[in-house]
Amino acid sequence: MRTAILKYNAGNIRSVQIACERIGIHALVTDDPRILREADRVIFPGVGEASSAMRYLRERGLNEVITGLQQPVLGICLGLQLLCRHSEEGNTDCLGVFDTDVKRFPPGFKVPHIGWNTIYELQGPLFEGISPEEYVYFVHSFAALISKEQCARTEYAYPFASGLMKKNFYALQFHPEKSGNCGERILKNFLRLKP
């Protein structure tokens, strides 16, 4: 099984690759459209800023590659936000896989939302064997609004979608690679999904 990690103008990609290696998966970091299309699974991680990341993807035609993928795809953190319709960060039109928008946390709340928080209302194959109210690790200032495609929810300032799922696309606002045993189980669940 071939796992590809999308390389683009964002940080945190190496830590996802190391997390895959810890569970016995060799993942290739690449921005080659052919390799991405032929992979059995694609991970779309990232820490960064939405408008510059989308500009990078569009300049290289990777926006069309991503939205056309048929195999399981996992967005992480910025990857989740870019898979949504629109982000307030830089007033950015994103990839539109998920029919929801990304908003900045309101004034009066510390941003970024950083540290451990719980996930609940868990649905779908990513969360097999995960108990509601598990703690996972977040670092973000923007969050996806609640929608019908939500598969996990968290509260900070207001309830937001900490997980999204639609067809072959899955996304997590938190960092499974930094979330201990719970995050490792979630990654394993994703990597077991059939192409």
**Dist. CA 92–CA 110, nearest whole Å:** 23
DSSP per position, 148-172: TTEEEEEEESEEEEEEEEETTEEEE
* Collapsed DSSP state (helix, strand, coil) of residue 76: strand
Question: What is the per-residue pLDDT across 98-143, written as a single tens digit (0 to 9) for each?
Answer: 999 999 999 999 999 999 999 999 999 999 999 988 999 999 999 9
**Mean pLDDT score, 43-62:** 95
The residues annotated as belonging to the active site are: 77, 175, 177
Question: What is the per-residue pLDDT across 8-23, written as a single tens digit (0 to 9) for each?
Answer: 988 789 999 999 999 9
pTM above 0.85, yes or no: yes
**Dist. CA 29–CA 6, nearest whole Å:** 6
Nearest CA-CA partner of 73 in 98, 51, 54, 52: 98
Q: What is the pLDDT of residue 1?
A: 72
Q: Is the peptide bond before 112 cis (omega within 30 degrees of 0)?
A: yes
194: pLDDT confidence band, cut at 50, 70 and 90? confident
Instruction: With a cut of 80, say whether residue 74 has pLDDT above it.
Output: yes
Question: What is the per-residue pLDDT across 171-186, written as a single tens digit (0 to 9) for each?
Answer: 999 999 999 999 999 9
Instruction: With a cut of 90, say whether residue 168 has pLDDT above it.
Output: yes
Q: What is the pLDDT of residue 118?
A: 98
Q: What is the pLDDT of residue 130?
A: 97
Q: Where are the alpha helices (DSSP H) in 23-153?
A: 33-38, 50-59, 62-67, 78-83
CATH number of 3-191: 3.40.50.880
Nearest CA-CA partner of 179 in 139, 140, 136, 138: 136
Average pLDDT, whole number, for the chain? 96
**Dist. CA 150–CA 85, nearest whole Å:** 14
Pair 189, 152: CB distance under 8 Å? no
Pair 173, 127: CB distance under 8 Å? no
Q: What is the pLDDT of residue 11?
A: 79
Q: What is the pLDDT of residue 12?
A: 83
